[in-house]
Amino acid sequence: MERVVIAREGCKGCELCIAACPRTVLVMSDDFNRSGYHYSIFKNKEDCNSCTFCGIICPDVCIEVYK
Ligand code: SF4
Ligand code: SF4
């Protein structure tokens, strides 16, 4: 199981999770989801410490964090 699971199709590309991550783990996609938004990607996985900041800040509850 990944530490962070992002619901791609629920993401509206607000980038709040990108700003909230203290370890620069998340990045925005170059392509679009079905709603036409760039979406957040769990990229620099080895740097994640499961702090949950990204999951807490997402207004659309798209992010689940596992310890
Ligand atoms: S759990 Fe914390 S370190 Fe991991 S991606 Fe989210 S904000 Fe970044
Ligand atoms: S905070 Fe949520 S809606 Fe905003 S970019 Fe991140 S995953 Fe997408």
pLDDT tens readout for residues 35-66: 999 999 999 999 999 999 999 999 999 999 99
The reported pTM is 0.96
* Closest atom of ligand 1 to CA, residue 53: 7
pLDDT of residue 1: 84
Rounded CA separation 21/5 (Å): 14
Question: C-alpha distances in angstroms, 38 versus 32, 33, 67?
Answer: 5, 6, 26
CA of 55 to the centre of ligand 1 (A): 8
| Whether residue 25 has its Cβ less than 6 Å from ligand 2 | no
Share of the chain above pLDDT 90, in %: 99
CATH of domain 4-60: 3.30.70.20
- Answer whether 40 contacts ligand 2 (Cβ < 6 A): yes
